Amino acid sequence: MKRVLRWWPFVPLVWLAVAVAVIKPGTIEIRENVAFEFSLLFYDPADIGAFVLRGANSSMGRLPGRTDEPQEEQPSDLARRLDAPQPPYSDRFYLEYPTATLLLFRLGFLAPCELPPAVADAQQYAVAHFIPRTAEEERIWSRFHFAAVLHLALMTAALGVLIVVLRRGYVPGGEPGPVWLAVLPGAVFFALNRFDVLPALSTALGFAAIGRNRHAWSGACFACGSLLKIYPVLFTPIILRGLGPRDGAKWLAGFTATILVGVGLSTAAFGWESTVRPVLVQLSRPLEETSWTLYGRVLPMELGRAKLARPAILAVAGLLLSFSRPRDLHAILRRCSVLLLVFTALAVFWSPQWVVWFLPLVVPLAARHRWVLHLSIALDLINYFQFPVLFWILWSNANRELCSIITETTIGIRIAMWGALAGGLLWCEFRHRSPERCPEPSPSA
C-alpha cells in the first residue's frame, strides 16, 4: 500500500494522458468511440472551448471588452450561421476574465488564427461541441484542438509546481501538510480543465515568500494572482495586519508595483476601456437563480439581487478578521480561509473550481488541524460528485426528480461542511488556544 501511495504525485500526468486521449482529433469535442460518461469524468470541453476561443480572437488583433455574453446556441445553430453570409466583426470580443489571462490563452495561437465572424463571436458551448464539415472548418478546429491540448499540459505543469511548493512548506523546516490533497479528483479535474491553478500557485508562492521574509516578493506574487483572478486581493488586509507596518509596507509596495505594471501593460496593449471592462463583467454578473448557489436555500434571493450589499458584507468580514493581529502565518491562513469561504458563499453563480482556490490554505492548515484534513477530503469529493458526475452525467441520464433531490442533498452537505470549516477555524483563531488543543468539530457542526 505504501508503494502505491508513493506514486500519487504522478496522478496529474495520468489524468492528462486520459484527458488528451478522449478528445476527438481535429476538434475539442469528445471522441465518438469513447464512453461519453467516462470521458466527462476527466475532460470538460465547455470551459476549454471558451479559453481557446478567446485566445484565437486575441491572435487576430481584436480587442477585448465586449460586455454582452454571446447568446447560448447549439452546434447546429453555429452551422447555419457559418453557411449564411458572414456579418461584419463586432467591435470587440467577449472576455469574462482579466486581460492578463490572454497571455495564457494566446500560447496556443502564436500565429494568427483567422476566424469567420460567426465563429469569432460564437457561444463557447457551440464551439466546443461543433464537428467540422469542410476543410476550412477542419483547419480552424485543428488549431483549437492544439490549443486545448496545450492548455491541459500547461495546467498539469502548473499543478506540479504547486505540489512542489506545498511539499517544501511555507516555513523552512516546517511541516508541509498532506500535499496529496492536490491530487484528489476535484482538485485535479478543475486544475487541468480551468486555469484557477495559476492564481492558486501565485497565492502559495506568496505565502511561502512570507514564511521566508521576502515580503516585497510576496506582494508581487499575490498581485500576479489577482491579475488572473480577483479573489487573492481579498487577503490583503489580513496579510498587512499580520505583517505589521514595516513589513506590510514592503508587501504593499511589491503588490502595488506589480498591479501597476500589469494594468499599465494591458492599457498600452489594449487600451483602458478594454482593460477595465472584463473586470466589470466579473463584478457585475447577475444572480443566476437556477444555479446551485446558497441563494434561496440559506441566503435570501433579495441579497443575491442587491449589488452593493454583498461587497459590503465582504468588506465587513474582512475588517472583522483584520481587527486583531494574527499571531503567526498559520493564523493568517486560518483567517484568509474564512474570508474566502464568505466570498464563495456570497457568489451569485456556482463555480465548482473553488476547490482549487483553497489548496494553498487548507494543505498547511491540515498539518495542525486534522479535522481540516477530513473536511477538505469530503469537500473535494462532494464537489467532484456535483460536477462533473451530477451536473454532466446524471442530469442527462437519470430521472430529473431524483436528480433534484440528490442536488439539494449534496448542496446541503456542502453548506454544512463550509459552516463546519469556517466555525472550526474561527474557534481556533479567536479562543486564544494553541492549534493542537483546538476542538475537532464534526461536519454537521
135-168 helix and 197-211 helix, angle to the nearest 10 degrees: 20
Quote the cell numbers at residue 134: 469542410
What is residue 443's predicted lDDT score, i.e. its pLDDT?
Answer: 35
Measure the CA angle with vertex 217, ends 98 and 207; round to 5°. Answer: 85
What is residue 3's predicted lDDT score, i.e. its pLDDT?
Answer: 55
Category of 244 on φ-ψ map: left (φ > 0), alpha (ψ -120 to 50) or beta:
left
Quote the cell numbers at residue 53: 476561443
Is cis: bond before 185, omega within 30 of 0? no
Q: Distance of CA 56 to CAs 72, 162, 239, 319, Å?
A: 19, 28, 38, 42
155 residue type, one letter:
M
d(CA 177, CA 154): 25
24 residue type, one letter:
K
Are 201 and 165 contacting, i.e. CB atoms less than 8 angstroms apart?
yes
Residues of the chain below pLDDT 70: 1-5, 36, 432-445
Nearest alpha-carbon partner for 155 in 106, 104, 202: 104
What is residue 363's predicted lDDT score, i.e. its pLDDT?
Answer: 97
Between the two ends of the chain, the Cα-to-Cα distance in Å is 33
- Which residue(s) pair with 92 in the sheet? 63
Are 252 and 238 contacting, i.e. CB atoms less than 8 angstroms apart?
no
98 residue type, one letter:
P
Quote the cell numbers at residue 167: 511539499
200 by DSSP, 3-state: which?
helix
Q: Distance of CA 96 to CAs 16, 259, 422, Å?
A: 26, 19, 29
Q: Distance of CA 424 to CAs 55, 372, 382, 428, 440, Å?
A: 42, 8, 19, 6, 7
In this prediction the pTM is 0.94
What is residue 437's predicted lDDT score, i.e. its pLDDT?
Answer: 42
Name the phi and psi angles at 64, rounded to 5. -75, 175
Domains of the chain by residue range: 2-150, 169-437
How many CB atoms are located within 10 Å of the residue 267 CB? 15
213 residue type, one letter:
N
Are 383 and 186 contacting, i.e. CB atoms less than 8 angstroms apart?
yes
Quote the cell numbers at residue 344: 464563495
d(CA 258, CA 167): 27
175 residue type, one letter:
E
pLDDT tens track for 222-273: 999 999 999 999 999 999 999 999 999 999 999 999 999 999 999 999 999 9
Are 104 and 195 contacting, i.e. CB atoms less than 8 angstroms apart?
yes
Of all residues in the chain, what percent carry a pLDDT higher than 70? 96
Most distant CA pair in the chain, distance: 71
d(CA 34, CA 427): 49
Is cis: bond before 443, omega within 30 of 0? no
